[in-house]
Structure 1
Amino acid sequence: MQRGRVVFVGAGPGDPELITVRGRNYLEDADVVIYAGSLVNPDIVRRWARKDAEVVDSASLTLEEITELMIRRAKEGKLVVRLKSGDFSIYGALMEEIWALQDAEVPYELVPGITAALSAASVAGIELTLPKVSQTLIITRGSARVQMEGSIRDYAPFVNRGASLAIYTGVHIVDKVVRELKEGGVTDDTPVVVVYKAGWPDQKIVRTTVDQLVSRVKEEKIFKDAVIIVGKVANPERYRDEVRSSVYDPSHAHSFRPKRREE
């Protein structure tokens, strides 16, 4: 593989086998691997990285320290893999690192991964876009200190219009999350699924409703590393007799399946 560059790889949600084939190939060939040990399952590095690779845990490093290391190693002619949790396009602090590489004229590549909301839906056995029920997914996050444009309160009203919310970094401030959901008009009986460490050996799945969310999360001692999914899709059993995808409905014609003549 071409060296003297940086490859950003989405590590996926935690299961070492949920990294993409391309991402794994780069990881196996990398001279340098930089990953956040606070977010990325270290088993991914232990399993796929070269035994002689330089491995750096960036959890305690600043942006400047990380980018300086990436630039220096790439200019030494090495292949650097910047391993990020989930998919780096979702809360991955990606662009600031890319801009530093661009300023230093260091080539880079992006290899996407699976973000936590998708893994959470899979282990919970739900569909985030349920036909005739929910066609919109809003990914947002909770925050205690970091200033953001828009809040859970702003997006909560869309839950009553058929949208689903996937909330990252919210369980540590679950009281605030519930307060903002209710202020946005979400009712107490709205279904919720909380998935802690989706795909990890110690994963937990909590099925509840908005009014019970705080007590259930605290009862399960979930304080971080979880996705909260709010909306009708969190309890699909309610709609078992109502859901029918038009794509596979014999009464619905499309370009690959013209309307069939009635027998």
Structure 2
Amino acid sequence: MTARPPGRVTFVGAGPGAADLLTLRAVRAIGEADVVIWASSLVHPDVLTHARSDAEIVDSAGLPLEGVHEIYRRAAGSGLAVARIHSGDPALWGALQEQLEICAELGLATDIVPGVSSFTAAAAAVGRELTVPQVAQSVILTRLAGGKTPMPPGEEVARFAAHGTTMALFLSAARSGQLQAELTAGGYPPETPCVVAYRVSWPDELIVRCALADLAATIREHKLWKHTLVLVGPALAAGGTRSHLYHPGHFHGFRRADRAARTTLRTTLGDSRPSSVRDIPARDWPSSDSPTDARGTGPA
């Protein structure tokens, strides 16, 4: 007698909305599934076009997590392949960990397919990099305290805002006044640029730019509270500086530095140490498998 294959649950990141932002791996996982679980309140229905015609489609929008667990138990007993579709990336606010634990208890194999997050989709929609050299080199992903899930101490928006870097704020538009107040209390100037992004990549997408001083009023004016992300930080302003990694004065294991450009770059950085750049014949350049530093690059 042939043993039944073990069941499997694949947690699929559906991205921010548009079906063509699914990864190839996500499309394959949905197409191979016996059961596809999706939340109609969060995931665009076009994603389901990749499911098999005979697949069981379950809308989890009206189910508690226990209802989803029942499907996992059935998958374990019958050796079913399940695609559990999450909006954005499953690793962010996806109740993923508890689902992985129940799958482990049931003996189900699991896979996770990452997805495009709404914060990167919002940055793409406004044509801005979130980590502009010498402006912001960090991105903080967080939400306001006071929601359904308590926040750990020290993770208040105002504390994170004190860093002055780029922030992406999820699940916070419904309390826009509190959001603006905490960002301001943390130290962002009133003129700090913000992006309010509603249902990014959906047909009814709305992207609004404003200053921090007008953030709450902007959100209220457009009656936004669900499916809304806020980006804030100086990197969202027009302009910026060039990356040092691609500067002709920077060298690494695959490229030599131009001596004059290296001097200019070091002057810009305020580095008065003697230059370590020397002329190395091409035959002596390090190969791709030569030891460099841990990143495969030389000094910045």
Scaled by the length of structure 1, the TM-score of the pair is 0.92
Aligned partners of 2:198 and 2:207 also within 8 Å: yes
Partner of 2:210: 208
1:22 equivalent among 13, 20, 25: 25
Query: How many angstroms does 1:75 deviate by?
Result: 2.5
Q: Which amino acid aligns with 2:160?
A: Y
Q: Secondary structure at the match of 1:6?
A: strand
Does structure 2 retain, via aligned residues, the 8 Å contact 1:144–1:173?
Answer: no
Q: Which residue of 2 aligns with 1:258?
A: 256
Residue of 156, 160, 163 corresponding to 1:155: 160
1-structure distance, mates of 2:147, 2:88: 23
Q: Is the 8 A contact 1:29 1:49 kept in 2?
A: yes
Q: Which amino acid aligns with 1:249?
A: H
8 Å contact 1:143–1:173 — kept in the other structure? no
For residue 254 of structure 1, report the CA deviation from its aligned partner. Answer: 2.3
- Provide the rounded CA distance (Å) in 2 between the counterparts of 1:170 and 1:7: 29
Q: Which residue is 1:243 aligned to?
A: 241
Task: Provide the rounded CA distance (Å) in 2 between the counterparts of 1:177 and 1:61.
Answer: 30
2:187 aligned partner: 185
Assess if the C-alpha contact under 8 Å between 1:7 and 1:108 holds in 2.
yes
Structure 2 Cα separation of the partners of residues 154 and 260 of structure 1 = 42
Contact 2:9 2:111 (8 Å CA) reproduced: yes
- Matching residue's letter, 2:243: S
Which of the residues 1, 7, 11 maps onto 1:4? 7
Separation in 2 of the partners of 1:49 and 1:142?
36
Once the two structures are superposed, residues 114-161 of structure 1 have per-residue CA deviations (whole angstroms, 9 ceiling, x without a partner) of: 1111111111111011112110000001244331112212211011xx
CA RMSD of aligned residues (A): 1.6
Q: Please, which moves more after superposition, 166-175 or 73-82? A: 73-82
Change (3 A) 1:176 1:262: closer
8 Å CA contact retained: 1:32, 1:53:
yes
SS at match of 1:40: coil
How far, CA to CA, are the matches of 1:3 and 1:104 in structure 2?
10
Q: Distance in 2 between matches of 1:244 and 1:106?
A: 48
The answer to whether the Cα contact below 8 Å between 1:6 and 1:74 also exists between their aligned partners in 2 is no
- Most deviating of 71-80 and 115-124: 71-80
Percent identity reads: 38
Could you list the per-position Cα deviations for residues 90-137 of structure 1 after superposition, in whole angstroms to 9, with x for gaps in the alignment?
A: 111100000001111111111111111111111111101111211000
Residue of structure 1 in register with 2:264 after alignment? none
Instruction: State the Cα distance separating 1:62 from its structure 2 match.
Output: 1.2
Corresponding letter in the other structure for 2:38:
Y
* Offset of residue 218 of structure 1: 1.6
1:60-101: CA deviation from partner (whole Å, max 9, x where unpaired): 111111112122124212111001110000111100000001
Greater RCO, CA 8 A, separation 6+: 1
Secondary structure, counterpart of 2:62 in structure 1: coil
**CA–CA distance in structure 2, aligned partners of residues 165 and 262 of structure 1:** 37
Q: Is contact 2:118-2:200 (8 Å) kept?
A: yes
| Letter aligned with residue 187 of structure 1 | P
Distance, in Å, in 2 between the alignment partners of 1:74 and 1:255 is: 49
Whole-angstrom distance in 1 between the partners of 2:39 and 2:212: 32
Q: How many residues are matched?
A: 254
Q: Could you state the TM-score of these two structures normalised by the residue count of structure 2? A: 0.81
Contact 1:124–1:195 (CA<8 Å) still a contact in 2?
A: no
* CA displacement at 1:51 relative to structure 2: 1.9
Consecutive unaligned residues in structure 1, runs of 5 or more? none
